[in-house]
Structure 1
Amino acid sequence: MVLNEVFIAVTDIPIPGFNLDVEGSSEPSDVAVTLQLLIMLTILSLAPAILIMMTCFTRIVVVLSFVRTSLATQTMPPNQVIVGLALFLTFFVMSPILAEINESALQPYLEEEMSQSEALEIAVVPLKEFMATHTREKDLALFMNYNEMERPTSLDDIPLHVLVPAFMISELKTAFQIGFLIFVPFLIIDMIVASTLMAMGMMMLPPVMISLPFKILLFVLVDGWYLVVQSLLLSF
């Protein structure tokens, strides 16, 4: 009886409806707000790309991937661990820049002391200084010559669409240089094990199976993760 009363009470509740209407507007301000929302959603969807291309994330994740490849541990550590460690290291390295952006641009904008365009212009400056510091002149000149731009006299003369790709290829080159230095000791271990097995006539035994424990042992004894992270932090 009680269940019937509850069922009747539930069925008496009206089902809410949802309507989405697209109407014309005669006020330019309404159109401007709509465009601002569209631009904001676009920026949020591009946030991962901005994180990858305008911070130190690329260098860190490439170097950590080189470490895993040189150890020949295949999926250990997993991709989630490498990306997570790279993200937290990125936030650690970029924390002074993010704090400067928050203090000089975000907080004044939230307190309505400046407009959105002014806040964006101020927020970009610390990022441009960081990218310019770690960008090689040769890489920057490549994109500026392609656009037939004059030699810049200050950082303000370098647009983002030129600085960002130059910064990316500079970061990739630096990451591959660090990865090569990490790869060499483990390559020597592989060569020693392969030569030993060949001298013993054990042709059918894969050298990787024998060298893997020695590489892991060497990496643990020298505290490899500490040295790798220390090198990455000192590179910035």
Structure 2
Amino acid sequence: MMMTSFTRIIVVLHFVRSALGTQQTPPNQVLVGLALFLTFFIMSPVITNINEQALKPYSAGEINQEEAIEIGIEPLRKFMLTQVNDKDLSLFLRIAEINEVSTFDDIPTSVLIPAFIISELRAAFIIGFLIYIPFLVIDMVVASTLMSMGMMMLPPVMISLPFKILLFILADGWSLVIGELVKTFY
């Protein structure tokens, strides 16, 4: 799962829930289920490629296990290479003490995977931050309005939560977030 789009998707979905201020709505099971189905949607060309080039020939006895693994990892490597940040890749190449790589094929998979995961976390946090900003502004406006009215004992969250949910519904939030999130992989 860590070599797919799942990490970015689930982190962004948790940021959405946190930005809205709903503690357990939607529940974790719904978020994980949505993230899994989106992952299958995004990764379907890669999965199909692995199935056609590695799993079917291995099941038919045309290639051995080592060849199947070698052939099957290539589509995943291509996917990860399109998403990995150069800075993260350089970091793990330095850690692995690999000084020069002439082609992407020279990058070991053991270096590519952690670089990809760190890149996915970075991308997810950037997207999550951008999602969080409008909801933070609503919280600040509601809190300052309540303070100016002298209503210090009323928790601002009680007032801002309906406004945040209303904004999310009016902006067609789920469609917008999911659509833009999926586009980040293409």
TM-score, normalised to structure 1, is 0.77
Kindly provide the amino acid, as one letter, of the partner of residue 167 in structure 2.
L
2:60 matches 1:111: yes
Determine the structure 1 residue equivalent to 2:145.
Answer: 196
Determine the structure 1 residue equivalent to 2:183.
Answer: 234
Q: What is the Cα deviation at residue 73 of structure 1?
A: 0.5
8 Å contact from structure 1 (residues 128, 155) kept in 2: no
Kindly provide the amino acid, as one letter, of the partner of residue 212 in structure 1.
L
Unaligned 5+ residue runs, structure 2? none
Q: How does 1:52-63 map to 2 (within 5 A)?
A: 53-63=2-12
Q: What is the Cα deviation at residue 147 of structure 1?
A: 1.6
| Alignment deviations for residues 163-183 of structure 1 (CA, whole Å, 9 cap, x no partner) | 111001100000000001100
Ranges of 4+ aligned residues in structure 1 off by more than 6 Å: none
Q: How does 1:37-48 map to 2 (within 5 A)?
A: none
8 Å contact from structure 1 (residues 129, 155) kept in 2: no
Kindly provide the amino acid, as one letter, of the partner of residue 34 in structure 2.
L
- Figure out how many residues of one structure are paired with residues of the other and give that number: 185
Unaligned 5+ residue runs, structure 1? 1-50
Max radius of gyration: which structure?
1
Matched residues in 1 for 2:124 and 2:162: separation?
26
Determine the structure 1 residue equivalent to 2:17.
Answer: 68
Identify which of structures 1 and 2 has the higher relative contact order when contacts are C-alpha pairs closer than 8 Å and 6+ apart.
Answer: 2
RMSD value, Cα: 0.7
Q: What is the Cα deviation at residue 150 of structure 1?
A: 2.6
Q: What is the Cα deviation at residue 154 of structure 1?
A: 1.9
Kindly provide the amino acid, as one letter, of the partner of residue 62 in structure 2.
E
Kindly provide the amino acid, as one letter, of the partner of residue 76 in structure 2.
L
Matched residues in 2 for 1:152 and 1:235: separation?
27
SS of 2:33 mapped into structure 1: helix
Determine the structure 2 residue equivalent to 1:210.
Answer: 159
| Alignment deviations for residues 101-153 of structure 1 (CA, whole Å, 9 cap, x no partner) | 01111111111111111011000000001111111111011111112113222
Residue identity (%) = 64
| Alignment deviations for residues 8-44 of structure 1 (CA, whole Å, 9 cap, x no partner) | xxxxxxxxxxxxxxxxxxxxxxxxxxxxxxxxxxxxx
Kindly provide the amino acid, as one letter, of the partner of residue 134 in structure 1.
Q
2:102 matches 1:130: no
Kindly provide the amino acid, as one letter, of the partner of residue 39 in structure 2.
T
8 Å contact from structure 1 (residues 140, 163) kept in 2: yes
1:98 paired residue among 47, 57, 61:
47
8 Å contact from structure 1 (residues 59, 174) kept in 2: yes
